[in-house]
Each structure stands twice: as structure tokens, then as C-alpha cells.
Amino acid sequence: MSVHPFERHLTNATQAGEHIGWTPEHGALPALYLSHGAPPLFEDEVWMAQLFAWARSMPKPKAVLIVSAHWEAAPLTLSSSDAHVTPVYDFGGFDPMYYRMRYDTPAATTLAKRVLGALGDDEEVHESRTRGLDHGAWVPLKIMYPGADIPVLQLSLPTSDPTRLLALGRRLRSLREEGVLVIGSGFTTHGLPFLTRDDWLGRTTPGWSSDFDLWAAHTLARGDIDELANFRTRAPGMPYAHPTVEHFTPLFVTLGAATDPAAPRDFTIDGFWMGLSKRSLQVT
């Protein structure tokens, strides 16, 4: 009987040894923007290895705060801080095994208080007692931190306005200095309605996806925040690359959490998956 790729990943992760936890001596953790994948990511050994190596390249966070493309809600809302909350299975048509997967993390009540403190009294924030992590959060985190031993909270994406999301990221910046890993989780291109069968099978990459990805790479590499913020009208491949924009806009939360949002960027992961750009980066 063949071993599922994710099972092999878990074996490799176990053999990686102890992951040193963050301490104040490490300084502020980076903030990440990652292209998060979908359940078939658990079958992609190369990408899983990239995500896991990325997680191991930094100290193990004390907690994770993640803003996912799959939870658009205003006013700002935090997911449940209780332990072992059932994940949100916000996808369809996949193998039944993915609907049985869980990511049972510890209670995040301390993290919730720290997030509320960072956001300040003038920001209206709701807390959901029932909402778990959606697949934009638990799928990549299950690969990066398979032990599920880090408190995790999800913060809703309250707007598609880059300026407001940059400001939100700025408010979260101080959390990095406390050992909290701040993540914006989206997908650098996400034109699902326009993918062909060959794209899905990885045989081809649509021009609108490669064009948008190249533009994003060059624009981030020179730190041009104004150009990025005007992606709807400036980026080639639009609107095919993002017929709706929620998978690109978490990038602005990440950039806002940077010490210098306009600093030139390089990339931790690039390339394409089922025709979509998986370009991902970290900021300090």
C-alpha cells in the first residue's frame, strides 16, 4: 500500500529534530505573505518541503496571527480562541480524507488579548466563539507546524482597500516583537474560472498568470507600494489573474507589518502550481 505524500512529510518533519522556540534575544519575527494552496497541496511534496523549510528557517513562534483570503468580514473579527475548534472546510469536490483533517491548536486567549491591545480601543473588533480556521490558514500551517502546538488566531479581512490594509498591518507590527508570526495568506494569482484542464494538470501556465506574477515580482523587488496598491488598473493579466481581489489583498497586511513597507523584496517561494503563482515572501 502506497504512503500518502503528507504522511511522508510528517515523517520527515519528525526527523528534523527540535525546533528552537522564539525568545526576545531573537528580535522581531518576520511577517509573511504566502500563497496558501488548497487540499491538493498535501500531495505536493516539493511545495510542502518548501513551506516546512521556511518555517524552520526562523525561530518557532510563540503564536500565529493569520489573515486569510477566505474570511472577508467587517468589522474586524477574531476567530475562536478556544482550543480544538473544528476547522472550516470551505472547499468542495476533494477526497473525503481532507474533510476529516483537523488542526487542533492550543487555546489562544492570551494571543487574543495581545491582538486587541495592538489594534487599540478605537478599532471595533468582534470575537467569534464558534469560528475555526479556514483552509487558507490551517492547510499551510498544518504543513509548516504539523505539531499543532502553537496558539493560532485568524483575523478577518475587513476591506479590499490597500491603504486601509497597510494601516491594519502597521497596528499589528508590534506583535512581531513579542514572538507572534503575522501572516497574510492568499495566492499571487487566483483566476480559477479561467484555468484550462492543462493548467490544472500542470502542463501549461496561462499568460495572464505569468504576466501578473512577473509584474508583482518586479514591483515588489523595487518596493513600489503605490504601483502595487493600484494593481487593479496597473497589473497585466487583470482581471483574469484576480476576478475577485481577496487573494491578493492580504499582501498589504503583510507589507504594513514591515518595519519599512517600501523596502525592496526578494522571495522565499516562487513558481506555479496548477497554473497559479505561488510566489511568497517575508518582510522584516
pTM above 0.75, yes or no: yes
CB of 72 within 8 A of CB of 172?
A: no
Percent of the chain exceeding pLDDT 90 equals 95
Q: What pLDDT sits at residue 246?
A: 98
User: What CA–CA distance (Å, rounded) separates 166 from 254?
Assistant: 8
Cis peptide upstream of residue 239 (ω within 30 degrees of 0): yes
Positive or negative CA dihedral for 168, 173, 178, 183? Answer: positive
| Prior bond of 75 cis (ω within 30°) | yes
Q: Which three cell numbers stand for residue 141?
A: 500551517
Longest Cα pair distance anywhere in the chain, in angstroms?
Answer: 57
Distance CA 30, CA 47 (A): 20
Q: What is the mean pLDDT of residues 245-263?
A: 98
The predicted pLDDT at position 122 comes to: 82
Give the confidence band of 214 by pLDDT, cuts at 50, 70, 90: very high
The pLDDT value recorded for residue 8 is 95
Q: Mind listing the pLDDT tens digit for each residue in 151-210?
A: 999 999 999 999 999 999 999 999 999 999 999 999 999 999 999 999 998 899 999 999
Any idea where the domains of the chain sit in the sequence?
A: 25-283
Given pLDDT bands bounded at 50, 70 and 90, which one contains residue 1?
low
Mean pLDDT over each residue of the chain, to the nearest integer: 96
Instruction: Please name the fold of domain 25-283.
Output: Protocatechuate 4,5-dioxygenase; Chain B (3.40.830)
Cβ 262 vs Cβ 242: under 8 Å: no
CB environment 208-231: b (16+ within 10 A), e (fewer): bbbbbbebbbebbeebebebbbeb
Is the predicted pLDDT of residue 121 greater than 90, yes or no?
no
**Rounded Cα–Cα distance for residues 17 and 13 (Å):** 8
Q: What is the arithmetic mean of pLDDT over 120-135?
A: 92
Pairing of β 31-35 and β 180-186: parallel
